[in-house]
Amino acid sequence: MNKPLIQYGKVGVLLGGDSAERAISLRSGNEVLKALINAGINAVGIDVTFDETLFTQLAGIDAAFIVLHGRGGEDGVIQSVLEVMETPYTGSGVLASALGMDKSRTKRLWLGSNLPTPDFVEVSEKSDLEGVFERLGGNIMVKPAREGSSIGMSHVTTEEDLYQAFAKAKIHDDSILLERWVEGPEFTCAILNGAALPVIQLITQNDFYDFEAKYESNDTEYLCPCGLSEDKEAEFKALAQTAFAAVDCKGWGRVDAMMDEDGKFWLLEVNTVPGMTDHSLVPMAAKAAELDMQKLVVSILNGIGLDTTIEMDSKSDNA
């Protein structure tokens, strides 16, 4: 094993959790943990449980590499705990994490910043679903507002399917988004410490890039180079960086968008703790930028601004 890099101290890779994305978080976290250890960093995995032992679980680490997907890890909760403990952590802060996890509030913020995002309405059981459906053109995506990995999402083109899709989304969240469908290819841009990585185009045989297409299918295609002209790729990179900054995201993350038949990009969401599995997009984009997994995780760790000119003290020495 390589000699540990003492300047990072003891790094806790936070994974697992109790959200609907637990299984993916375990896969992502184990990939990150393996890469950190191979890079010579003193890293340990922590399968986080959100109970009265949480502070004890996090004691003794000098920095946290957050790979908790979904609620608890991506919505500002674990970030606020680490803030209280004065433990540096990767990625976005409390407010940006909370905003990024909530698709409705993210889209409202983008609209307020004059950034393009598909028309949408946040609905509940008391809403006129049929009226909203017609208003959005009768071709929509139904989404839980605060879930990731496409969990609970459905593409709907009939009123009959609308109610089934609403019930499916309602299992995961009380806040449901009905969003105008954008016909065209989907693109994603990873952001790493202020820089936009190469854009990836996603091609799936499914109706849309759903959970199965993301994590289980071997038929999903990832184009990188993405197939856009140099100017169009630069346009999307700039839009993604602007959208990322508008939510006050930090360090690393990913912005997803559709491109319509007129070549206009429409922002879908920002991911503040993207997947890091062997099917995940950020490692793919990093590889295209000549960053292997070890270099990627170290770059993300560097993004939290640790003072690497001195040795970490107290906690790691006593751990």
**Which of 190, 201, 189 has the alpha carbon at shortest distance from 300?**
190
Please determine, for residue 272, whether its predicted confidence score (pLDDT) is greater than 80.
yes
Mean pLDDT score, 37-42: 94
| Fold exhibited by the domain 183-297 | D-amino Acid Aminotransferase; Chain A, domain 1 (3.30.470)
Please determine, for residue 175, whether its predicted confidence score (pLDDT) is greater than 90.
no
Domain ranges of the chain: 6-91+303-318, 119-180, 183-297
Q: State the Cα torsion 59-102-252-2 to the nearest 10°.
A: 40
Cα distances from 317 to residues 42, 72, 100, 311, in angstroms, run 12, 29, 35, 10
Q: Report pLDDT for 146.
A: 75
Instruction: Output the six-digit token pair for 151.
Output: 């969990």
State the sign of the Cα–Cα–Cα–Cα dihedral 116, 119, 120, 121.
positive
Q: Report pLDDT for 205.
A: 65
ω into 225 cis (within 30 of 0): yes
| Fold exhibited by the domain 6-91+303-318 | Rossmann fold (3.40.50)
Q: Report pLDDT for 310.
A: 29
Please determine, for residue 217, whether its predicted confidence score (pLDDT) is greater than 80.
no
Side chain identity at 68, as an amino acid letter? L
Please determine, for residue 306, whether its predicted confidence score (pLDDT) is greater than 50.
no
Banded pLDDT at 126 (limits 50, 70, 90): confident
Mean pLDDT score, 159-185: 86
Contacts of residue 290, defined as CB under 8 A and 6 or more positions apart, other chains included, come to none
Mean pLDDT score, 103-121: 94
Per the listing, tokens 């190469």 go with 198
Banded pLDDT at 278 (limits 50, 70, 90): confident
Q: How far apart are the first and last CA of the chain?
A: 20
Cα distances from 84 to residues 58, 65, 89, 94, 306, in angstroms, run 11, 16, 12, 11, 17
The rounded mean pLDDT for the chain is 86
Instruction: Output the six-digit token pair for 11.
Output: 């790094």
State the sign of the Cα–Cα–Cα–Cα dihedral 126, 131, 136, 140.
positive
Per the listing, tokens 């407010």 go with 95
Candidate from 41-45, 75-79, 111-115, 132-136 with smallest mean pLDDT:
132-136
CATH class of 119-180: alpha beta
Banded pLDDT at 309 (limits 50, 70, 90): very low
Contacts of residue 161, defined as CB under 8 A and 6 or more positions apart, other chains included, come to 154
Q: Report pLDDT for 203.
A: 86
**3-state SS, residue 160:** helix
Q: Are 16 and 23 contacting, i.e. CB atoms less than 8 angstroms apart?
A: no
Phi, psi of 203 (to 5 degrees): -125, 120
Q: Report pLDDT for 316.
A: 38
- According to DSSP, the β-strands at 140-144 and 11-16 are unpaired
Candidate from 18-27, 164-173, 192-201, 203-212 with smallest mean pLDDT:
203-212
Pick left, alpha or beta for residue 229 (phi over 0 → left; psi -120 to 50 → alpha; otherwise beta): beta
Residues forming the active site: 21, 149, 215, 254, 256, 269, 271, 275
Q: Are 300 and 65 contacting, i.e. CB atoms less than 8 angstroms apart?
A: yes
Residues 237-269 have pLDDT tens digits of: 999 999 999 999 999 999 999 999 999 999 999
